């Protein structure tokens, strides 16, 4: 059974099935009502006492009964995050007549015992309101445990990718595996035009609703299999959050999660397509679990089909022991025994395809600008912490300041990353030690630094240090390392020699 047919049976219609462009104004009124109630990332965080992405079904009852008040914001949280029914009088304090009508018409709200219940979640992330299917634990879905066309919740991978993908101005952006549309809608702010592609018709409807909910006009969503609907076009940016979890034999199947036996079925196709649909100078940012990290650069090279013409950055976020990875994915099982059995099957499935390490992270592919392919690079960088704030400028800088390109440049002023601070410690009787720290920057790891590095750092803070002046000196290697780590950048960089 599909979720669409389940949803249809429950409500008498599949959600968003009747939506037309004429509904945009009323959907805009829903946004206005939710915003007026303070339903945004900060407001929801304040009433829940936690970031909305950390919300777990186990917390729903406690929050509902013992934490939330009775104001319109609490009603919105109960309705759109906690899967609760809310009585009609309270709902009317939150939603105006046109909003309520359109949510009933589109099948978002269903009537229940003198009140209403929502069949979707609406999450706040990246200053957007995003409708998705409710979590897999929701009792709204009764005993149905294998509804493969669920539209994915906003996960750490969703929010992380939107932070990692560079946000400098772009022409056309492609969002592969668009789901709720979160990547497209973030990209719509820095792109002239965005196309989202998803194979799940239910996801396409959610994404179109979300575009209307956020008043976004320059984004279209197309039903199709990966590159197939856009194979004749080129894009300046591509963002992709494909299904990447290795499939467990006899496990429940989910379109948003299943990445084939080794988790890389879609990833390999997407990276392979870079030469076809990524414009020269373009960037493709992907979030994925990284299996057998040490061998990943070789596999990426094979997928790209050529060593030259592309540069690749692998960003490593955190490592999971294989058993813990399996346990995390078993979390939807109902009983402890089922959970253990699922985790055992997954550990064996990972072992069968030779997976021995699992990291979470990102792969960014840059197609070199025109002028003939140069030798490609694949570099791996460990992130300081999971990316919860925009880090795309670092990613773009990585490709601007590859060693190969720095070799060809003669000048530029070294600029310190304003998020980085120098910390000097002087233990009694011991020598001074120096560290660079950047607690507000997820990309830049804390560094113990030498006295030479400290001197260069302080010079960049107090004056203009020119690349041409330090070139060829001992400071050049120090500067290159600080650039690689994201602590320094170079401005006024003249164009690379042809
Ligand atoms: C992990 S979810 C990502 C959703 C969203 N982009 C995000 O970042 O939260 C993966 C999405 O890929 C879609 N998908 C699965 N196979 C696909 C395929 N062959 N072509 C296009 N989309 C596909 C699923 O329907 C699902 O919406």
Phi, psi of 364 (to 5 degrees): -120, 125
225 lines ligand 1 (CB under 6 A): yes
Say if ligand 1 is within 6 A of residue 241 CB: yes
Instruction: Single out the residue of 391, 339, 338, 341 nearest to residue 362, CA to CA.
Output: 391
Q: Is the CB of 255 under 6 A from ligand 1?
A: yes
Residue 267 beta carbon below 6 angstroms from any ligand 1 atom: no
Closest by Cα among 268, 240, 262 to 179: 240
Predicted pLDDT of residue 138: 63
Q: Is 12 left (phi over 0), alpha (psi -120 to 50) or beta?
A: left
Question: Which residue is closest in CA terms to ligand 1's atom 12?
Answer: 177
The residue contributing the CA closest to ligand 1 atom 19 is 225
What are the tens digits of pLDDT across the range 110-123? 888 889 999 899 99
Please name the residue whose Cα sits nearest to atom 9 of ligand 1.
Answer: 158
Distances, alpha carbon 191 to alpha carbons 174, 181, 211, 218, 268, in Å: 10, 15, 14, 8, 26
Q: How many CA atoms lie within 13 A of 157 on its CB side?
A: 26
Give the per-residue pLDDT at 497. Answer: 39
Q: Indicate if ligand 1 lies below 6 Å from the C-beta of 226.
A: yes
Q: Atom of ligand 1 at shortest distance to CA of 240?
A: 6
Do 167 and 190 form a contact (C-beta atoms < 8 A)? yes
The encoded tokens of residue 479 equal 């500067």
Q: What is the mean pLDDT of each run of 10 residues along the chain (498 residues)?
A: 70 82 96 98 97 91 95 97 95 97 94 90 97 74 67 95 97 98 98 98 97 98 97 97 93 88 98 94 97 97 87 96 92 79 94 97 94 85 95 95 83 94 90 94 95 96 94 94 94 52
Residue 275, phi then psi, degrees to nearest 5: -65, -25
Q: Whose CA is nearest to atom 5 of ligand 1?
A: 179
Return the exposure string of 365-389: e unless at least 16 CB atoms fall within 10 Å of the residue's CB, then b.
bbbbeeeeebebbbebbebbeebee
CA of 198 to the centre of ligand 1 (A): 6
Task: Give the mutation target among 135, 199, 208, 289 for probing the ligand 1 site: most ligand atoms within 8 A of CB.
Answer: 199
Interval between CA 67 and ligand 1 midpoint (Å): 35
Whether 446 lines ligand 1, by a CB cut-off of 6 Å, is no
Pocket mutation for ligand 1, best pick of 53, 149, 152 (most atoms within 8 Å of C-beta): 152
Q: Is 182 in the pocket of ligand 1 (CB under 6 A)?
A: yes
For residue 257, report the distance from its CA to the centre of ligand 1, in Å.
8
Mutation probe of ligand 1 site: the residue of 121, 153, 165, 179 with most atoms within 8 A of C-beta: 179
Residue 239 CA, closest ligand 1 atom number: 6
| Interval between CA 388 and ligand 1 midpoint (Å) | 21
User: What pTM value is reported for the model?
Assistant: 0.94
Q: What is the 184 CA–ligand 1 centroid distance (Å)?
A: 12
Please report which helix (H) or strand (E) contains residue 192, including its range: strand 191-198
Per-residue pLDDT, 495: 46
- Structure confidence at residue 269 (pLDDT): 97
The Å distance, Cα 111 to ligand 1 centre, comes to 31
Crossing angle for the helix pair 156-164 and 392-400, nearest 10 degrees?
A: 50
Angle, in degrees to the nearest 10, between helices 24-36 and 97-105: 120
CATH architecture, domain 156-396: 3-Layer(aba) Sandwich (3.40)
pLDDT at position 498, please?
Answer: 34
């Amino acid at each position: 059974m599909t979720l669409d047919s389940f949803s249809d049976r429950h409500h008498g219609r599949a959600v968003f099935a009747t939506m037309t462009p004429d509904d945009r104004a009323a959907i805009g009124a829903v946004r206005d009502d939710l915003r007026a109630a303070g339903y945004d990332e900060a407001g929801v965080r304040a009433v829940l006492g936690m970031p909305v992405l950390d919300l777990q079904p186990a917390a729903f009852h406690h929050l509902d009964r013992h934490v939330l008040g009775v104001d319109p914001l609490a009603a919105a949280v109960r309705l759109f995050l906690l899967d609760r029914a809310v009585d009609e009088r309270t709902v009317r304090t939150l939603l105006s007549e046109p909003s309520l009508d359109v949510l009933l018409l589109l099948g978002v709200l269903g009537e229940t015992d003198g009140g209403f219940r929502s069949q979707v979640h609406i999450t706040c992330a990246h200053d957007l309101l995003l409708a998705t299917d409710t979590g897999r634990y929701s009792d709204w879905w009764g005993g149905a445990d294998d509804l493969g066309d669920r539209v994915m919740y906003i996960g750490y991978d969703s929010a992380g990718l939107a932070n990692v993908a560079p946000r400098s101005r772009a022409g056309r952006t492609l969002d592969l595996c668009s789901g709720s549309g979160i990547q497209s809608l973030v990209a719509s702010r820095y792109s002239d035009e965005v196309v989202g592609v998803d194979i799940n018709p239910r996801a396409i409807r959610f994404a179109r609703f979300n575009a209307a909910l956020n008043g976004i006009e320059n984004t279209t969503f197309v039903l199709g299999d990966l590159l197939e609907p856009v194979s004749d076009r080129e894009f300046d940016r591509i963002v992709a959050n494909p299904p990447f979890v290795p499939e467990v034999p006899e496990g429940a199947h989910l379109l948003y999660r299943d990445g084939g036996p080794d988790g890389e079925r879609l990833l390999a196709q997407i990276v392979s397509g870079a030469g076809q649909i990524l414009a020269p100078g373009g960037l493709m940012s992907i979030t994925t679990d990284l299996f057998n990290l040490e061998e990943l650069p070789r596999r990426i090279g094979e997928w790209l089909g050529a060593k030259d013409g592309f540069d690749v950055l692998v960003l490593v976020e955190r490592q999971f022991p294989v058993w813990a990875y399996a346990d995390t994915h078993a979390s939807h099982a109902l009983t402890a025994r089922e959970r253990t059995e699922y985790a055992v099957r997954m550990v064996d499935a990972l072992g069968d395809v030779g997976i021995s390490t699992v990291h979470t992270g990102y792969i960014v592919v840059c197609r070199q600008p025109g002028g003939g392919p140069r030798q490609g690079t694949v570099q791996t960088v460990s992130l300081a912490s999971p990316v919860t704030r925009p880090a795309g400028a670092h990613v773009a800088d990585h490709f601007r300041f590859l060693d190969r390109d720095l070799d060809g440049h003669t000048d530029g002023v070294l600029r310190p990353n304003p998020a980085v601070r120098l910390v000097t410690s002087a233990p009694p009787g011991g020598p001074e030690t120096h560290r660079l720290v950047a607690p507000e920057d997820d990309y830049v790891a804390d560094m113990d630094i030498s006295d030479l590095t400290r001197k260069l750092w302080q010079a960049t803070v107090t004056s203009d240090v020119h690349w041409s002046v330090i070139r060829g000196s001992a400071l050049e290697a120090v500067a290159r390392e600080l650039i690689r780590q994201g602590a320094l950048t170079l401005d006024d960089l003249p164009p690379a020699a042809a």
